[in-house]
Amino acid sequence: MKFLRMKYLLIIGFIILSTCNSIYSQVNELYDYDVEKRIKELNITLQKTSKPIANYLNAVQTGNLVFLSGKGPRDKDGNLITGKLGKDLTVEQGYVAARLVAITQLSALKEQIGDLNKVEKIVKVFGMVNAESDFTNHPEVINGFSDLMVEVFGERGKHARAAVGMGSLPRNIACEIDMVVQIKE
C-alpha cells in the first residue's frame, strides 16, 4: 500500500513538474530577449516625461491595460516639432516626428509600469497627423511610431491602428499619438 501511494505521488509530482516546465517554456518564448537592453542597442534614450499641465494623467492603468495619453514630438533639446504635413514638413520628417513620439510614449510607459519587459502587447495606436487638406500619406507618417514599437517589442509590438489627418493639433505639433498597452500582471 505504501509503495502504491509513493508511486502515485511520484506520478503526480512528475505531472506537476511537466506542467510547470511547459508554462515556463511558453513564458520564455514570449520574452526571449530583454526589452530594456534592446532599447539601448537601438541607441534610444528614455527620458523623464513632463507632468501634464492640464487636468489629465500621462497614463492610466486598469487591470492589465495601460492607456497612454496623446503625446507630441519633441527634438533632442525638448522643443516641439511643429508644422503641417504637406506644407511645412515632408513625409520623411513626419515619420521621424512620429518615431520621437514613440520614444516619449515608451518613457511614459516605463514610468507607469517600471519595467518594459512586462509588456505583453501593444494593443492599439491612434495616430493624428497635422496635415493640409490634400495630404493623404497619414499612414506613412504614423509608420514611424509603429515601426519603432516592432523594433523594440518584436511581434508584441504589432498593433491595431488608426492614422488620420487633422486640420490642426495643439501647439501646431506635427502629430499626436496615443496608445493602449497590455501588460503582464
- Tens of pLDDT, residue by residue over 162-172, are 999 999 999 99
Nearest to 85 by CA among 76, 74, 97, 71: 97
The residue among 184 and 21 whose pLDDT is bigger is 184
Averaged over 1-30, what is the pLDDT?
50
Considering the segment(s) 35-183 as one domain, its CATH architecture is 2-Layer Sandwich (3.30)
Question: For the chain, what percent of residues have pLDDT higher than 70?
Answer: 83
> Is residue 80 exposed (0-12), middle (13-18) or buried (19+ Cβ within 10 Å)?
middle
Please tell me the predicted confidence (pLDDT) of residue 53.
Answer: 87
Q: How many C-beta neighbours within 10 Å does residue 83 have?
A: 17
Averaged over 172-182, what is the pLDDT?
98
Distance CA 81, CA 110 (A): 23
Distance CA 41, CA 46 (A): 13
pLDDT, averaged across the chain = 89
Question: Domain residue spans in the chain?
Answer: 1-30, 35-183
Please tell me the predicted confidence (pLDDT) of residue 24.
Answer: 40
Please tell me the predicted confidence (pLDDT) of residue 74.
Answer: 95
Question: What are 136's three cell numbers?
Answer: 493623404
The model carries a pTM of: 0.83
CB contact at 8 A, 112 and 59: yes
What are residue 121's DSSP bridge partners? 182
Averaged over 58-71, what is the pLDDT?
97
**β 119-130/160-166 pair status:** parallel
CB contact at 8 A, 175 and 130: yes
Averaged over 115-129, what is the pLDDT?
97
The number of helices, as runs of H, and strands, as runs of E, in the chain is 4, 5
Please tell me the predicted confidence (pLDDT) of residue 25.
Answer: 41
- Tens of pLDDT, residue by residue over 65-101, are 999 999 999 998 999 999 999 999 999 999 999 999 9
pLDDT classification of 185: cutoffs 50, 70, 90:
confident
